Structure 1
């Protein structure tokens, strides 16, 4: 799809796993992109990564923005028609203090919204997560009307941060003054798999896949929740930005059926990969390890989870056919092997 509009998009977090795919799809569709990075030294890597993926970066500019600082936000949004706010701290491990994650997530989101409103942008697309919907649920189906209970002790810090940030964003949108209020759409991805656009595999899902392929994960946690391919996440971001009927909606960006690391390992073994193990880690063991390990502690709330997603609105609104989980896993594994050879 090519819009050839020369409309401008402020894309925060352009150097990340999702951000690079969003930049690729926006530039290929004819948008001007102003991408934000935390450090200007990232610009060369972003441009080289996109160029290596055959993306014309003529209409790309890079700005330096920090989620925890007001500096530069108003200038970055000036002249933009849309804001795509992808940047957010992500880690499974619970930080030493919750504010380490809460402050950049919530304040960064509000900075993006305030700058967008001041610049007169039409619509903001906010990258949220399904963890802002399913909270401490273990079984059943969640959907766009569900919200995570941030007071639950079963909810990890990351899920709380995404929920608080998204709620703060919707509160901001609902309390706008003026005749032409800014629109917003939240895109809530499930577990994100699929190939990275560049050669960075330090993100959580790629790092875990790399460990699986190397045989460094002898046991896997028992948890299943809806997954999504990173290329679909980017596609849905662009459609959420450009589809009139998407305004004001929370978009479930995932398959309806759950996927798991155990399933991913089996897919890889069936394709001849030698490293992955399909042994299941006893949940009781992981709960014990969580007493000493912050990363495992962040995972405990999702142990024994087996959730479905109600993605009917997404399928109909965007006429979307999700990339299958098997394809995501195999494409990601091929990319990781190519990078680590």
Structure 2
């Protein structure tokens, strides 16, 4: 019998890859979008990627509204909650990110409980594990959201994941509902379609175009979106994954300088490997909102412990040089 997955945020970078993986493995997918106007775009994008969409339906859900959640979850075996607001630039107020991230997660959890869903797989972030500025982080680590100048995005992902675990403890105990968290690092890889507007792909595009004369001193675990999607699907039905959180990234600390060097090694002339001094980034942040969003990350130098991910799912990450190469090739092809 075909199992059904409610996949929130299907039109996003990770969402489309997750839909492709699910449909290819025989699941029925109920994908959510904020507006039904995106339905045809999602269908066309997946079809162009040689995906059979006969088991795909689209529903309209908003992270900020209760409307439709129970109906969307009804009859679903699993919920894969990928949808969350994301941009690295600092918003005017942090609640622009935090409120929809937390409330959307709680709406997904409540809908799962009400519908008798077996398991929720939640997309968190390695950023919810940033317990320090340097060293190694992993599933046992949590970001301290009370740190001054905390990135609004990191705070939103941390608080949203905390809310999910609190829900499991306080409202879902004894119901049979399970939660598994997949926490991607900085995620790259070729998009399913032709949309390169996301933060990660935009950064590669800017490097290729010579629009980043200097890069910030920030290094963290990075990974491939195809790995992230595959791990989400594996997490649905791997018994040992229940009640666990997993880092979905390669282990080494990598930064924009490493990305730039890999692109240069591939023969691209646009990338620069010059590091921007931290004081300069802080000055730029006074009038540039994207730089302002980076200030709280300056000096970050973190590697990741992905041993539990490897062991539980029998997983080995796609080589990161391959990820960078294939991302650049896809972007260059779309821009030519």
TM range (shorter): over 0.9
Shift of 1:101: 0.8
Task: State TM-score, norm by structure 1.
Answer: 0.96
Give the structure 2 partner of residue 149 of structure 1: 144
- 1:294 to 1:73, Cα distance in 2 relative to 1, 3 A: same
Q: Does 1:96 align with 2:92?
A: yes
1:296 aligns with 2:291: yes
TM-score, L = length of structure 2: 0.98
Q: What does 1:139-218 align with in structure 2 at a 5 Å threshold? A: 139-177=134-172, 179-218=174-213
Structure 2 CA distance, aligned partners of 1:233 and 1:323? Answer: 10
1:328 — aligned with what? 323
**Which of 276, 286, 300 matches 1:305?**
300
Q: Distance in 1 between the 2:161 and 2:274 partners? A: 36
Q: C-alpha distance in 2, partners of 1:266/1:295?
A: 22
CA distance in 2, matches of 1:28, 1:202: 25
Please tell me whether residue 58 in structure 1 is matched to residue 62 in structure 2. Answer: no
CA distance in 2, matches of 1:198, 1:245: 33
CA distance in 2, matches of 1:254, 1:202: 21
Q: Residue in 2 aligned with 1:27?
A: 23
CA contact (8 A) 2:113 2:172 kept: no
Aligned counterpart for 2:105 among listed residues 104, 109, 117: 109
Calculate the aligned-residue CA RMSD, in Å: 1.1
Match of 2:220, SS state, is strand
Aligned length: 336
Q: For residue 271 of structure 1, what is the aligned residue in structure 2?
A: 266
Q: Distance in 2 between matches of 1:165 and 1:258?
A: 25
Asked whether the equivalents of residues 125 and 183 of structure 2 are also in contact (C-alpha less than 8 Å), the reply is yes
Q: In structure 2, what is the Cα distance between the partners aligned to 1:304 and 1:107?
A: 31
The answer on whether the counterparts of 2:113 and 2:175 sit within 8 Å (CA) in structure 1 is: no
Report the CA distance between 1:178 and its aligned residue: 6.4
Q: Which moved more, 1:302-311 or 1:326-335?
A: 302-311
Task: Name the counterpart of 1:339.
Answer: 334
Measured against aligned partners, the alpha-carbon deviations of 1:233-281 in whole angstroms (never above 9, x if no partner) come to 0000011111010000011111111111111111111111111111111
Give the CA deviation at 1:335: 0.6
Given candidates 213, 224, 233, the residue that maps to 2:219 is 224
Q: Is contact 1:259–1:325 with CA below 8 Å preserved after alignment?
A: no
Which deviates more, 229-238 or 218-227? 218-227
Matches of 1:158 and 1:269, distance apart in 2 = 30
Separation in 1 of the partners of 2:172 and 2:309? 29
Unaligned runs of 5+ in 2: none
- Structure 1 CA distance for aligned equivalents of residues 104 and 312 of structure 2: 29
1:260 aligns with 2:255: yes
- Is the contact between residue 226 and residue 308 of structure 1 (CA under 8 Å) also seen in structure 2? yes
* Equivalent residue runs for 1:101-140 within 5 Å: 101-135=97-131, 137-140=132-135
Query: What is the Cα deviation at residue 116 of structure 1?
Result: 1.0
C-alpha distance in structure 2 between counterparts of 1:94 and 1:118, whole Å: 35
Match of 1:12 among 8, 12, 22: 8
Q: Which runs of 5+ in 1 are unaligned?
A: none
The C-alpha deviation readout for 1:104-163, integer Å capped at 9, x for no partner, is: 10000000111111110000000000111115x221111111111111014211000001
- 2:35 corresponds to which residue? 39
